[in-house]
Every structure is written in C-alpha cells, then in structure tokens.
Amino acid sequence: MKPVIYGLSGLALTADERAFYREADPAGYILFKRNVATRPQLLALTSELRALSGRDYVPILIDQEGGRVARMGPPEWPAFPAGPAFDALYDVAPMSAIEAARANAQAIALMLAEVGINVDCLPLLDVCQPDTTPAIATRALGSEPMRVAAMGRAIIDGLRRGSVVGVVKHMPGHGRAIVDTHYHLPTVTASDAELEIDLEPFRALNAAPMGMTSHIVFQAWDADRPATLSPIIVNEIIRGRIGFDGLLMTDDIDMKALSGTAGEKAAGALAAGCDLVLDCWGRMDEMAEIANLTGEMSAVSRARLDRAMATIAGVAPEGDMAALIAKRDSLLAAA
C-alpha cells in the first residue's frame, strides 16, 4: 500500500485512473466539488473506490467544514455554518456552543455516511490571532485555546456518532500565518514560549485518530523547513510535545507554500515522519511521480491507519439529520 491519499479527476473514475489506483493501491482517496453531483452518483463513486481497494474501511476523505469550505452543498445537500458561528455562541453560552458544534458535526457525518464518505477533514484547532489570514480566520473556532479544544472535541465526537473519522488540523497550528499557504509560504517568528498557545488545543486532543500538518515555517523550531517537511517539528513537536500518536497526513502537497515537484515534496514529507501524503488534484503525471518516488507504507503508519479507522468500525450512524440541524439552529439563535 502506498502512503498516499489521491484525488480524482471527475464524477466517475476513468479507465486510466482505475488501472493506476489498482496498481498503486493508495491508502485512501479525497473528494472535491468536481467529484460531487448527486447522491446516487456519489454513492456509486465511493462504492467503486471501496471495491477497488478491497478494504471495507478504506479512508474516503472530504473537506466538509461548513461555510466557504464545503464540497457538498445546495441544492442537493444543506449548507452548514463555519467555525466562527460557534465561537460567537460560546461568548454568551459556552455549553450551548459545545452542544451546537456536536450536533452540527453529527448532522454533517450523517450526510457523508449516506454517500459512503468516512473521513472529514475537521475540526480546525488553529488558534486565531488578530492578523490571522482570512483563509483560516473565516473557518476557525476562535482565539482562546481551551474553547477551541472544547468545541473541537465535540466535533470529533459528533462525527464519530455519525460513523465518520475526524482529522485535527493544522498541526502544530496555523493561527499565526498571515498569508494563505495555497499561494505563499508563511514564516512565524513567535518564540517557543509564545507558541505554547498554539499547541494547547492539539495537546488537549492528542488522542484524536487523525491529524494534518501545516505548511508553515516556525523559526523557533526549524528556520529552514516548513512543518510538513521538518523532522524536528514532526518528531519533537507534534509527536513529542503535543503527544500525538495518531495518523499524521500532510496538508495538500500541491499548495504553493511548498517548492519542488509533487514527488519530491511527497518523499520529503514521508522522510520527515508524516504517515501519509495528501495529493488532491488527480493529475495522473503527478500521481505517478509520487508513486515512483515513495515506497510502501511503513508498518507503524499502517497500524496508525488501522487504529484510526477502527474507531468507526461497527459504528452505525445514529441520529436524524433534520432534528440535529434544528437543534443546532435553536442553539445558535441565542448568539
């Protein structure tokens, strides 16, 4: 099995994709708007991916956060609010905000499970600063670490109730970036002591089944390499000080924050200690290069993958989506 999560080019697998994925045997797949149209289409696609892999619990990921980051949306599926809505409620009713976040995540999970998606890249545990890039600030759960952790924990719980695995992101923190990693490489100059704030939510949720790195240079820890490519940050900060021993994947390896070819970036991330590389765009030449430049998934990483997916093994999705949405909306109305 290759330590890669690949994207797909369209609404159905092409013959070339089918042959390539069968040969490469990637650890999982990730879906975007270009892969999503209707419930029957999406269920057929995820069913084929599952059959192709031969694994009942092959990870099939999506970024379904709510707000601006939503791959499934109206009119086929309902819209969901983003993190700041729950942060605003927390100001007036903390327990209501936690319960609203849980209900919202459970409703999202029911929507995903219905079409065969079993991993959601949520929650964000990034602690916002006054100058955090809008790419994160418009999605995050706030600027106070423990409230971020409390709502993040509720989101992971809500997702699991709907038989979906959550992914905490973006380790070891994206809140101090003032530029968007899709286009630029941020450099954070905060001291080691200051960065304790960023680590707090991740440390509180260090038993999460899956996590995602950030493409950010932290001068206090490694002035030469972004977190995704830094053995120091992966091993000493994420695995060490945070204490995270779950499955660690990269953020999208195609982001412009990282330099080099897709295969070079993938090999670098794995060498740094990441378990999986996230390659989102379904470009056959890049996927082939990654496959050629990476070996088989290590036994340690495979064990982490199996352990993460086991958290939903045998978990039947519970709850009623309409009732959960109604509960969330009634709670959010207090803000």
Nearest to 5 by CA among 43, 62, 64: 62
**107 neighbors 93 (Cβ within 8 angstroms):** no
pLDDT score at 194: 98
Round to whole Å and give the CA distance between 64 and 71.
6
pLDDT score at 329: 98
pLDDT score at 180: 87
> What is the β-pairing status of strands 217-218 and 247-252?
unpaired
In the chain the first and final C-alpha atoms are separated, in Å, by: 47
**205 neighbors 166 (Cβ within 8 angstroms):** no
pLDDT in tens, 278-316: 999 999 999 999 999 999 999 999 999 999 999 999 999
pLDDT score at 334: 85
What mean pLDDT value characterizes the chain? Answer: 97
Number of independent structural domains in the chain: 1
Kindly report the CATH number assigned to the domain that includes residue 209.
3.20.20.300
Query: In which domain, by residue range, is 303 found?
Result: 2-332
| Residue 270 one-letter amino acid | L
Residue 4: phi and psi, rounded to 5, are -140, 145
Query: Annotated catalytic sites, by residue?
Result: 182, 251
Q: Where are the beta strands (DSSP E) in 107-228?
A: 119-120, 165-171, 187-188, 210-213, 217-218
Residues lower than pLDDT 50 in the chain: none
Per DSSP, 278 falls in state E
Under DSSP, is residue 17 helix (H, G, I), strand (E, B) or coil? helix
pLDDT score at 203: 98
Round to whole Å and give the CA distance between 157 and 10.
31
Nearest to 191 by CA among 227, 223, 238: 223
> Token pair for residue 89?
């409620």
State the Cα angle at 21 between 274 and 52, rounded to 5°. 110
Round to whole Å and give the CA distance between 133 and 65.
17
Give how far Cα 1 sits from Cα of 22, 84, 291, Å.
10, 38, 10
